[in-house]
Chain A
Amino acid sequence: GAVVSQHPSRVICKSGTSVKIECRSLDFQATTMFWYRQFPKKSLMLMATSNEGSKATYEQGVEKDKFLINHASLTLSTLTVTSAHPEDSSFYICSATRGIEAFFGQGTRLTVV
């Protein structure tokens, strides 16, 4: 199947700093990628749709200035958590769709201390 790679897999940062997470589609081009957040023992909550060459579309309740998304090429989308706080600690997963099927990155566990 198609491969989506996410980096880093784990990151620990201090409160107030920013963290960038990368999502790459390795063997196909993705005009659209999706970013999810997952709390422990909870479902994947869609945060935003990343659109290549244009602005991301954010779901209701997600702060666009807090979670900056850039989709500068057909194989790369980045999520930057700005001015991180402990409540931003979570598991973040990206996905890219080829045809109808979604392929997920391996996820990034963010811990803000």
Chain B
Amino acid sequence: GENVEQHPSTLSVQEGDSAVIKCTYSDSASNYFPWYKQELGKRPQLIIDIRSNVGEKKDQRIAVTLNKTAKHFSLHITETQPEDSAVYFCAASKGTSGTYKYIFGTGTRLKVLA
């Protein structure tokens, strides 16, 4: 079935350093790849996304890269800050407008040490 693997499961970095989280998906029909940040007991919040016709996207300190051939995509956070500490989930999705089905990765707990 559809599967999304995410690594690492935990990641500790010093404030100011970069953090990289990687995901691999199995369904080659997936065409939309969002990344979510979730704080304890709260709903996931979209931080960046990328569509399958694009290889890279950047938004300030956050960037995402996509390799469709290899079926993997990565999240890059530069100049990390303590408030970046949270759990991050990648997702792979496919569908038509209004019906996109998301399969989530297993999550990465990021700790930014001050």
Q: Give the size range of A's interface with the partner.
A: 20 to 34
A107-B32 contact, Cβ under 8 Å, with A97-B100, A101-B49: no
Please give me the residue from chain B that is nearest to A98 by CB atom.
Answer: B98
B4 to chain A, nearest CB (A): 9
User: Which of B46, B89, B101, B107: most chain A Cβ within 10 A?
Assistant: B101
Docked-complex contact B43 and A104, CB < 8 angstroms = yes
- Taken together as a complex, chains A and B put the C-alpha atoms of A46 and B49 apart, in Å, by 20
Tell me the total A-B contact number using a CB cutoff of 8 A. 63
Docked-complex contact A99 and B41, CB < 8 angstroms = no
- What are the residues of chain A within 8 A of B43 when measuring CB–CB? 93, 104-107
- What are the residues of chain B within 8 A of A32 when measuring CB–CB? 98-99
- Taken together as a complex, chains A and B put the C-alpha atoms of A105 and B89 apart, in Å, by 16
A53 to chain B, nearest CB (A): 14
- Taken together as a complex, chains A and B put the C-alpha atoms of A94 and B4 apart, in Å, by 20
- What are the residues of chain A within 8 A of B101 when measuring CB–CB? 34, 46, 49
Considering the complex, which residues of chain B in the window 76-114 have a beta carbon less than 8 Å from any beta carbon of chain A? 87, 89, 93, 95, 97-107, 109
B112 to chain A, nearest CB (A): 18
Please give me the residue from chain A that is nearest to B10 by CB atom.
Answer: A41
